[in-house]
A and B are shown apart, each in its own frame.
Chain A
């Protein structure tokens, strides 16, 4: 027996232990370091898990209520990695915020405990084999982050947290209704009711599940989890919640949580596709995802134009990218699915890097308002360059990975839905214009009198951007292998 299960348990449950410990640790400096250490432990274990899973027969592990395959493995490694780099950034950033009097020691304690709790719920959502537990974990992620969004207790942040809580709560309730319907359909296809929510069992028997019930269930699941993905028209909470919370939280919300929700949708799509295979509308799930994805993409690209708050602007960019990924998963087929998977990875890395940089930029300017952020490259060249490169990456400029994934998506669209490719190109151009119009004065404009550099830790940004550039230039064969395998799993064929 290999070290596979211990590695898996260590990855998933280090944050549980960490959250419990950090809930009790009062000294802030120690808590910051401990937070970092727990994240490092979880990330190390996830690498070990990846190594062992590659050696395992078939590259799949099922047992103890967990199910790890090529689809969720890269996302688990990504989540624990971004968790680690955010913890590195958060350690000093939150001390600075404390020095500015924005948080009390008690709230710092809550912050660190919830940071780990948030990671725990995301990792459990990814690792679990049980669709009910998946729901519990995604709802848990909302509950863990709602106090983080309102951490500064400004009227704005309380309002943002309330909207987030209510809208996501409603969304996720609809997802539970969908889950109940899936369970209901499963009872007719599978004898053992205890197995009725186990994804790996359902996937094997999905063709026997009732098509009409699965169709209704998928609509509820898409709307429900789609609210958490930030799909239009259920996206109104997202810019508020992502802009009002502390920056490390924004980085994780935008970079990671959206992925988890989309992951849940895709898992259900795999079931719905095989249940609906023989019905009159075999592509129903895909078409719904394409429609909502494209709508979100266009709405977000247009909304980008009128933003005055820098974090809100990048939140809309998250809606745009998640819309694109949903659209690509909806097209189905190997090429589009591969592109969507790659897009999830590169978007997470880029967006969390951008939010970390934005945190520093807002700190320099003393405001999140775009018109107040000026001349970064003069005041602090490192932050200016990081913002410039980060935005170039997020807008899909060539050496970076998002260019590669968007190019693949465009190709896939041209193959199967040529007339939609025009819409995609127009949307990309609009989003690009919105981002760059605002970026130029922020980076190059003349700096206001007396603007000084701050202590910044840009290592997470550098590492993320280097990784994204690497993924854009040449996907390492190991990762390409994983993604190919995941593509085969989701789309039912390779390329």
Chain B
């Protein structure tokens, strides 16, 4: 095992902090705190991107870092916050069925992610192999957040944090995708965020709540 350069270590630390933010979202039962954790995750991904740009002298990554920071760190959390305020849900606390089990399952997902990434690990540099495993873990935790929680807002946070994990994987393992692709992805994320906002109102209008557990009209069974 060779010693990693200081900057690469810093990137790894940031990746680990991003993973920590995922766990904090998983355990937060207050909506506003979960949104704050998400904002921190966005900032961390942006910082990691900027560091990668500095290490690899990849100047187009500075642009991506800026884009991520403004989109995931500022704009989307701000939009979510505003929606929560407008729907009078700032004080809303979601009941998590078994909080300890949810977090424990999250930890198992991290182990699973490392296991999946094993064959990749053998052929690459020490930093890359960790990053791929960590970003896969963030993706899986986002997925788990969407399954374990039934609040529309937390589901959106899960969705967006999956995107964070993907972005981290792209940046840290491959020095970023071509710029056109990154701009396209950023555009899609932005449109998705706006659409989520629209849907909050639709769902609120139709079931007078944002609990997806109440979205049960469409089944194959005969209505009672």
Contact = CB atoms under 8 A, between A and B. Distances in A.
Contacts, number: 134
B129 to A, nearest CB: 11
A61 interface: no
A212 B116 CA distance: 11
Interface string B84-124: 00000000000000000000000000000000110110110
A159 B217 contact: yes
B178 interface: yes
B170 interface: yes
B224 interface: no
A158 B143 contact: no
Nearest to B202: A158
A210 B196 CA distance: 38
A139 B180 contact: no
A162 B177 contact: no
A109 to B, nearest CB: 15
Contacts of A479: none
B174 A193 contact: yes
Contacts of B165: 177
Interface in A236-261: 240, 244
A139 B188 contact: yes
A180 interface: yes
Contact of A180 (B119, B159, B166, B222): B166
Contact of A166 (B132, B146, B174, B207): B146
Majority DSSP secondary structure for residues of B touching A: helix
B119 A165 contact: no
B195 A170 contact: no
B1 interface: no
Chain B contact patch, size range: 35 or more
B215 A163 contact: yes
B89 to A, nearest CB: 17
Given A132-B178, A143-B191, A158 B199 contact: yes
B174 A146 contact: no
A308 interface: yes
Interface string B169-204: 110011101101100110110011001101100110
B215 A133 contact: no
Contact of B159 (A160, A166, A213, A244): A166
B212 interface: yes
A169 B196 CA distance: 11
Contacts of A140: 188, 191
The residue in B135, B163, B166 that gathers the most chain A C-beta atoms within 10 A of its C-beta is B166
A23 B159 CA distance: 28
B144 to A, nearest CB: 11
A108 to B, nearest CB: 17
B162 A196 contact: no
A176 interface: yes
A153 B146 contact: no
A61 B119 CA distance: 37
Contacts of A155: 206-207, 217
A324 interface: no
Contacts of B6: none
Nearest to A198: B178
A162 B187 contact: no
The residue in A135, A180, A197, A308 that gathers the most chain B C-beta atoms within 10 A of its C-beta is A180
A143 B119 CA distance: 35
B78 to A, nearest CB: 21
Nearest to B206: A155
Given A163-B215, A180-B170, A170 B146 contact: yes
Contacts of A193: 174-175, 178
Interface string A179-204: 01101100100000110110000000
A490 interface: no
Contact of A136 (B119, B139, B188, B215): B188
A130 B188 contact: no
A170 B188 contact: no
A283 interface: no
A445 to B, nearest CB: 20
Contact of A196 (B152, B178, B180): B178
Contact of A184 (B173, B184, B195): B173
Contacts of B166: 173, 176-177, 180
A173 B158 CA distance: 11
B215 A307 contact: no
B181 to A, nearest CB: 3
A173 B163 contact: yes
Contacts of A170: 143, 146, 159, 162
A156 interface: yes
Given A169-B159, A177-B166, A213-B120, A130 B199 contact: no
Interface string B135-174: 1100100110010000010010001001101100110011
B181 A177 contact: no
A162 B212 contact: yes
Contact of B178 (A130, A165, A184): A130
A158 B206 contact: yes
A216 B117 CA distance: 8
B187 A240 contact: no
A184 B124 CA distance: 10
Q: Which 5 A-B pairs have the closest CB atoms?
A: A132-B181, A136-B184, A212-B119, A155-B206, A159-B215
Interface of A: 65, 130, 132-133, 135-136, 139-140, 143, 146-147, 150, 153-156, 158-163, 165-166, 169-170, 173-174, 176-177, 180-181, 183-184, 187, 193-194, 196-197, 210, 212-213, 215-216, 240, 244, 303, 306-308, 312
7 contacts: A132-B181, A133-B184, A166-B159, A173-B162, A197-B177, A212-B119, A216-B117
Given A162-B215, A169-B159, 14 more contacts: A132-B177, A132-B180, A133-B184, A136-B184, A139-B188, A143-B195, A150-B199, A155-B206, A162-B199, A166-B155, A170-B162, A183-B170, A193-B174, A212-B120
Interface of B: 116-117, 119-120, 122-123, 132, 135-136, 139, 142-143, 146, 152, 155, 159, 162-163, 165-166, 169-170, 173-175, 177-178, 180-181, 184-185, 187-188, 191-192, 195-196, 198-199, 202-203, 205-207, 212, 215, 217-218, 220, 222
